[in-house]
Structure 1
Amino acid sequence: MTVNGTDQEQETPATVLVVEDEPSIADVLAIALRYHRFDVMTAGTVRQALALTERTRPDAALLDIMLPDGDGRALAHELRSRQPELALVFLTARDAPAEVVGALGFGDDYITKPFNIDEVVARLRAVLRRTRSVDVLPQRPPLTYGDLELDEATYTAHRAGRSVQLTPTEYALLRFLVRNGGRIVTKEQLLRHVWQFEHAATAESTVVETYISYLRRKLDALGPPLITTRRGVGYGLAAS
């Protein structure tokens, strides 16, 4: 298309799979997402969701946790095993800290019900910026820090030559820490640059702690502790 005499290449719309068994909620989400120029597929059960993804690969999935024929977290695990780069956002009525942490162990973000539709759209876009940005990165040398190596062309991580399986959000968080070398970065900086949250709330601060814990568990299994904590300030990487 041409705007003011200049060719503008439109970004390919992201395809979102909405898995929600309440028809009224599914309809609201679908209408709002289509208004914001997403392509939308809807399913009310685990079986329907898996059947849809056999035919079309979505860029993101909005998943209810409690579904008539299964658990949204198990569905997330299955979808991610088929498509590792898939962005996963949970919609849940459960807001207890243990439930939140459990949901984040399977996906990239969570939103509690009742929700604000503008927040759903904003947070979905934030997750997609993390998961889709790799597709447009030019070829460049891997990022390295000590025995850690991040390949931005293939979205993979290795430590001491061994593969580290990371979710898109874990990868984005680790990449930001590596790019900052040995400097300490605050939770506010992480929320702004990794999660694209401009105003941090208590629950969102907990998200950072949760993902730091996930990264530590995966990285420390392959070598000495790598991520350091400066209490009351933030996080960094140990001297390489």
Structure 2
Amino acid sequence: MTRVLVVEDDPQLVRALVINLQARRYGVDAAPDGTTGLRLAAARRPDVVLLDLGLPDMDGVAVIRALRGWTRVPIMVISARQGSDEKVAALDAGADDYVTKPFSMDELLARLRAAVRRTEELPLTPGTARVETADFSIDLLAKKVVRDGHDVRLTPTEWHLLEILVTSPGRLITQLHLLQEVWGVSQHDKTNYLRVYMAQLRRKLEKDPSHPRHLITEPGMGYRFEA
């Protein structure tokens, strides 16, 4: 059973989420504040976290950073904050998706299913289990990246983007394809997600992130991986 942790202080929204998730056979734990949420995450080890940013005891971004200190569990933000700065801050801290309130329950559940899929193994073709570049190496079976002799910690979304790109070396992967595969959505207004995550991958993997050798942008079209 897939377990979902809901960290939200609005009891009506929590009740609606619990009813809808349990009806679809998810296990659900709920926390009214960040402190309880972090404690439940450690104790229950959820498969996905739904997190509000406006919590009574601490900002949700602080919760994201605390979780990212020890787990790669997918984190979906559900927040009334609609400004791009808030979205980028949450994504930069390690969130995997950002849904603004009010939201469609069907869309939220579709994104949750996509978040769960991102943690599953991608089918690998022969010869693609390991990718070597001059700057880093990727073991796709072990979900491990090594750079300069050290493991590189990636979030589930960063991993999924990297896997899609490196398993099709030299091929242009369009923005719409990446949005559909990683977030389950194809809206043009979500391309800022891609910019944020590709920037994070470059900071972690490229020797010179401002002049990338391996994670290449094709302006207005998409991205390409070059070994």
Give a deviation string over 1:46-77, Cα, whole Å, max 9, x none.
Answer: 12112323421111100000100001111122
CA contact (8 A) 1:160 1:222 kept: no
Looking at structure 2, the residues matched to 88 and 165 of structure 1 have their Cα atoms a distance apart, in angstroms, of 16
1:211 aligns with 2:197: yes
1:186 matched to 2:200? The reply is no
Query: 1:108 maps to what in 2?
Result: 96
1:163 aligned counterpart, secondary structure = strand
Bigger Cα Rg: 1
Q: Equivalents in 2 of 1:54, 1:218: separation in Å? A: 26
Residue 38 in 1 paired to residue 26 in 2? yes
Aligned mates of 2:13, 2:86 — CA distance in 1:
21
| Correspondence list, 1:24-173, <5 A | 24-84=12-72, 86-105=73-92, 106-131=94-119, 133-134=120-121, 142-147=129-134, 148-173=136-161
- Partner SS for 1:177: helix
CA displacement, residues 181-231 of structure 1 (integer Å, 9 cap, x when unaligned): 01121101211223232xx22332221122111111111247872211122
Kindly provide the amino acid, as one letter, of the partner of residue 146 in structure 2: H
* Cα distance between partner residues in 2 of 1:186 and 1:136: 20
Separation of aligned partners in 2, 1:160 and 1:142: 20
The answer (yes or no) to whether the contact 2:3–2:27 under 8 Å persists in 1 is yes
Letter of the 1:180 partner, please give it: S
What number of residue pairs does the alignment pair up?
223
Aligned equivalents of 1:54 and 1:178: distance in 2? 32
Which runs of no fewer than 5 residues in structure 1 stay unpaired? 1-12
Please state how far the C-alpha of 1:136 moved relative to its aligned partner. 9.5
Q: Is the 8 A contact 1:145 1:178 kept in 2?
A: no
Would you say the 8 A contact 1:183–1:236 is kept in 2?
A: yes
Q: Could you say what the CA RMSD is over the residues aligned between the two structures, in angstroms?
A: 2.4
Single out whichever of 153-162 and 182-191 deviates more from structure 2: 153-162
| Separation in 1, partners of 2:130, 2:64 | 29
Name the CA distance, whole Å, in 2 between partners of 1:202 and 1:141: 30
Residue matched to 1:234: 222
**Local SS of the residue matching 1:70:** coil
TM-score normalized by the length of structure 2: 0.89
2:128–2:167 contact (8 Å) kept in structure 1: no
